[in-house]
């Protein structure tokens, strides 16, 4: 049993759970972004015919789940667990999707790191033979997040250059021990780190220390270095957080160079006016289940390390003067 653990924080899966199917869905801004061509289903109306952005988000999440299932021969009954997470209070997008799917549900919250937290937990469960197939999904919606975490949409706010834009979309994956697809071989669950960042406009800065910590811990635990991976993907650090991350990692003795890519910094084009880049549960999720998986099938990448980052931020704790803590989880995907 103990050989499944490597070092302090890393788990090595010997049954090699596979991502046998994945599906992505996103809104119009994402359609014209750099990731547009990697997204399976693009919707032209970010409200997808719903009256509220909260209802729209759960519709996107549910659709992604349906699409991921449709790509397999499995039905809801064959899926033993549904692991879902999103940014909204009480993770309503996930729980309402779970209600409609009718699959036993584990709700998770890792802010924007939820997708890797979900895939990691899914891999644990499948690797331990506690389930044959697990559905993992996360979502986020720009309008729903703005109103929960920031201000009303139409308010006279001048966004700062360090602000990030919440990605509207959802992604789902089926993790199973039967079938074909890239394998999840390792997971490094991260610690919560807080370097005293207090500004909710600096989410990238709040998350960078956690991302650097998880990455360095992973290298140490697995005795690997950046050279062992075709790509090291971070979730949504954005252009400022990414700079800080690279610097922190360098101080710890690792040079990432062109091996590193941050989905948040990469996703939107400069003219799309997204400040420091994308964020939200869908940001890392579209990066991993859209970009990475598709490029793996094309044969461009064979072994990648995906680190999704989350700012554990609440408007209440922020208003009470607390600083913003960050978390980051990593998984290795090989295929």
Q: Where do contacts with other proteins occur on this chain (CB under 8 A)?
A: 51-52, 147, 151-162, 195-197, 202, 205, 209, 240, 243-244, 247
Beta pairing, strands 18-26 & 169-176? antiparallel
Q: Which of 285, 239, 289, 294 is closest to 261 using CA atoms? A: 239
Cα gap 109→196, rounded to integer Å: 21
Residue 286 DSSP symbol = I
Tokens standing for residue 134: 């697990």
CB of 1 to other proteins, least distance (A): 35
Give helix then strand counts, H and E, for the chain. 11, 15
Query: Cβ of residue 152: shortest distance to other proteins, in angstroms?
Result: 4
| Residue closer to other proteins, measured from CB, 2 or 158 | 158
Least distance (Å) from other proteins to the CB of residue 194? 8
Report the distance separating Cα 25 and Cα 40, nearest Å: 6
For 257, other C-beta atoms within 10 Å of its C-beta total 10
Q: Which is nearer to other proteins, 184 or 324 (CB)?
A: 324
Distance in Å, CB of 198 to other proteins, minimum: 9
Residue 54 beta carbon to other proteins: minimum distance, rounded to whole angstroms: 8
Q: Which of 14, 24, 55 is closest to 186 using CA atoms?
A: 14
CB-based contacts of 62: which residues, under 8 Å, 6+ apart?
96, 97, 100, 101
Angle formed by the axes of helices 142-149 and 53-70, nearest 10°: 140
CB distance 315 to 288 below 8 Å: no
Cα separation, 194 vs 81, in Å, equals: 32
**C-beta closer to other proteins: residue 3 or 51:** 51
Give 44 or 161: the residue with its C-beta nearer to other proteins: 161
Q: How far is the CB of 52 from other proteins (least distance, A)?
A: 5
Judged by beta carbon, residue 20 or residue 206, the one nearer other proteins is 206
Residue placing its CB nearer to other proteins in the complex, 27 or 209: 209
Work out how close the CB of 151 gets to other proteins at its nearest, in angstroms, rounded to a whole number.
7
Angle at 27 between CA 169 and CA 202, to 5 degrees: 60
* Closest CB to other proteins among residues 158, 223: 158
């Amino acid at each position: 049993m103990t050989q499944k653990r490597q070092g302090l924080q890393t788990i090595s899966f010997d049954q090699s759970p596979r991502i046998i199917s994945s599906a992505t869905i996103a809104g119009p801004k994402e359609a014209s972004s750099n990731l547009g061509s990697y997204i399976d289903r693009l919707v032209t109306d970010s409200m997808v015919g719903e009256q509220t952005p909260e209802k729209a988000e759960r519709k996107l999440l549910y659709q992604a789940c349906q699409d991921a299932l449709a790509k397999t021969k499995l039905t809801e009954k064959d899926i033993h667990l549904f692991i879902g997470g999103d940014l909204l209070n009480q993770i309503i997008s996930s729980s309402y999707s779970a209600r409609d799917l009718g699959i036993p549900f584990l709700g998770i919250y890792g802010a924007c790191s939820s997708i890797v937290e979900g895939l990691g937990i899914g891999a644990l469960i499948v690797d331990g033979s506690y389930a044959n197939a697990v559905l993992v999904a996360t979502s986020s919606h720009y309008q729903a997040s703005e109103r929960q975490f920031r201000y009303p949409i139409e308010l006279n706010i001048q966004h700062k250059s360090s602000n990030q834009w919440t990605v509207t979309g959802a992604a789902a994956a089926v993790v199973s021990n039967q079938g074909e697809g890239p394998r999840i071989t390792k997971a490094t669950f991260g610690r919560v780190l807080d370097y005293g960042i207090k500004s909710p406009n600096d989410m990238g800065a709040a998350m960078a220390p956690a991302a650097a910590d998880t990455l360095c811990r992973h290298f140490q635990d697995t005795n690997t270095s950046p050279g062992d991976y075709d790509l090291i993907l971070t979730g949504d650090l954005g252009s400022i957080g990414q700079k800080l991350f690279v610097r922190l990692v360098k101080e710890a003795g690792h040079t990432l160079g062109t091996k590193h890519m941050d989905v948040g910094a990469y996703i939107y084009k400069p003219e799309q006016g997204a400040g420091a880049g994308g964020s939200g549960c869908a940001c890392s999720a579209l990066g991993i289940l859209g970009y990475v998986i598709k490029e793996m099938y094309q044969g461009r990448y064979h072994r990648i390390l995906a680190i999704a980052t989350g700012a554990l931020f609440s408007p209440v704790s922020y208003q009470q003067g607390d600083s913003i803590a960050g978390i980051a989880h990593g998984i290795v995907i090989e295929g």
